[in-house]
């Protein structure tokens, strides 16, 4: 069983691992996390998921095997409708695989695992709460009020929405809502961070700013990130590893380590190697699109 740590205690653990950034960059560091000897590790072992429909059992995901080590940044790339969101739901414990073994923090997952943050594809904000109140929701009643507020404001600042702290969701644009969601998930400093097309609703400039924020956070807290996107360039820029999924059912089309300096330099976007990587990954995507068009 995954033990329920007191949140304060957990934050402390994370702060400690944050101080180890230098060491971690040099190699994997033995983290003294007691119960969580493999905290942050996510592994898929021959994972399959099918849904029962009127047309019978429909496989959505089939035979996915991948081991995501703690503190790594992986993108899942695939055409829309291939099963990316479904895969994240499995990791978050919101749904269960019909085949295979899924391990979160090194343990076969049942129920909602501890220390997992999830930014859904659509903004899940509570309409009666202000932006700040939405951000602090996960830790409300668990840490002192003043500290809660400070931490909430800090995260809102991180996503550039400090000025909007008292606005309610209906007074925010789609992109702003998505950024409030990011602030909320950053607040808890989870060991596993699931992001489902989090920058889909953003304009190019805000998107780049948010990508930088996300990388900052990753450098500081070292969560295991699973970043779902359908944008090839975003995947190449942000992640150490890209898993491309095929369609109908989703299988691993390629599992590629983007062997470049990490975290990326802004100039990486504009160099030849970047577009080579994109072209390479795109070739795994293209057939799925065609198949989809053919029907």
Partner 1 sequence: MRLLQSTDSRAGKIRSLIIPLVLLLGWETLSVSGTVSSVFLPGPVAVIEALLNQLTTGTLVANLMPTMQRYLLGFALSCIFGIPIGLLCGVSARVRGYINAALEFLRPIPPIALIPVLILWLGIGDASKVAIVAYGAFWPIWLNTMLGVQEIPVLLRRSARVMGIHGTRYFTKVALPAALPKILAGIRISAALALIVVIAAEMIEATSGIGYEIVNAEQTFHSANMLAYIVVISVVGYIVNGFLRLAEHRVYAGRGLSDTSIETLE
Ligand X SMILES: Nc1ncnc2c1ncn2[C@@H]1O[C@H](COP(=O)(O)OP(=O)(O)O)[C@@H](O)[C@H]1O
User: In the window 129-148, what residues touch partner 1 (CB under 8 A)?
Assistant: 137-138, 140-141
Q: Of 20, 9, 14, which is closest to residue 192 (Cα–Cα)? A: 14
Would you count residue 60 as binding partner 1 (CB under 8 A)?
Answer: no
Euclidean distance between CA atoms 254 and 251, whole angstroms: 9
User: In the window 149-168, what residues touch partner 1 (CB under 8 A)?
Assistant: 168
Torsion of CA 203, 138, 32, 91, to 10 degrees: -60
Cβ atoms of 245 and 253 within 8 Å: the answer is: yes
Would you count residue 1 as binding partner 1 (CB under 8 A)?
Answer: no
* Binding-site partner at residue 83 among partner 1, ligand X, Mg ion, none, CB < 5 to 8 Å by type: ligand X
- The correct pick among 126, 257, 276, 286 for binding partner 1 (CB under 8 A) is 126
Euclidean distance between CA atoms 197 and 20, whole angstroms: 29
Cβ atoms of 125 and 181 within 8 Å: the answer is: yes
Q: Per CB under 8 A, which region of 27-35, 124-132, 156-164, 226-234 contacts partner 1? A: 124-132
Euclidean distance between CA atoms 115 and 10, whole angstroms: 9
Q: Cβ 85 to Mg ion, closest distance in Å?
A: 3
Q: Of 285, 273, 198, 261, which is closest to residue 234 (Cα–Cα)? A: 198
Report the interface residues with ligand X, using CB under 6 A: 51, 53, 60, 78, 80-86
- The correct pick among 169, 198, 223, 249 for binding partner 1 (CB under 8 A) is 169
Would you count residue 171 as binding partner 1 (CB under 8 A)?
Answer: yes
Q: Which residue number, 132 or 285, has a Cβ lying nearer to ligand X?
A: 285
- The correct pick among 128, 144, 146, 205 for binding partner 1 (CB under 8 A) is 128
Q: Which residue number, 70 or 91, has a Cβ lying nearer to partner 1?
A: 91
Cβ atoms of 230 and 82 within 8 Å: the answer is: no
Q: Cα 246 to the chain's mean position, in Å?
A: 20
Interface residues with partner 1 (CB under 8 A)?
92, 94, 112, 114, 116-118, 120, 122, 124, 126-128, 137-138, 140-141, 168-171, 184, 188
């Amino acid at each position: 069983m995954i033990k329920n740590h007191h949140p304060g205690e957990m934050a402390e653990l994370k702060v400690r691992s944050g101080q180890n950034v230098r060491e971690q960059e040099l190699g994997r560091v033995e983290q003294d996390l007691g119960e969580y000897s493999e905290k942050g590790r996510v592994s898929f072992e021959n994972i399959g998921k099918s849904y029962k429909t009127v047309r019978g059992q429909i496989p959505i995901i089939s035979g996915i095997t991948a081991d995501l080590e703690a503190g790594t940044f992986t993108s899942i790339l695939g055409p829309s409708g291939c099963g990316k969101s479904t895969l994240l739901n499995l990791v978050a414990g919101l749904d269960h695989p019909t085949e295979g073994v899924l391990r979160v923090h090194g343990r076969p997952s049942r129920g909602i695992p501890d220390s997992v943050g999830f930014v859904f594809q659509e903004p899940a904000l509570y309409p009666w709460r202000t932006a700040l109140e939405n951000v602090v929701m996960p830790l409300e009643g668990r840490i002192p009020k003043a500290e809660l507020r400070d931490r909430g404001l800090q995260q809102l600042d991180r996503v550039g929405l400090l000025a909007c702290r008292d606005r309610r969701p209906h007074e925010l644009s789609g992109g702003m809502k998505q950024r409030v969601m990011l602030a909320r998930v950053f607040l808890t400093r989870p060991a596993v961070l699931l992001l489902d097309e989090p920058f889909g609703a953003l304009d190019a400039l805000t998107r780049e700013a948010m990508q930088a924020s996300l990388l900052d956070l990753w450098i500081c807290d070292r969560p295991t990130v699973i970043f779902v996107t359908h944008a090839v360039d975003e995947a190449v820029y942000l992640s150490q590893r890209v898993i491309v999924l095929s369609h109908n059912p989703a299988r691993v089309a390629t599992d590629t380590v983007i062997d470049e300096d990490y975290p990326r330099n802004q100039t990486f976007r504009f160099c030849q190697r970047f577009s080579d990587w994109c072209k390479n990954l795109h070739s795994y995507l293209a057939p799925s699109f065609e198949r989809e068009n053919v029907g």
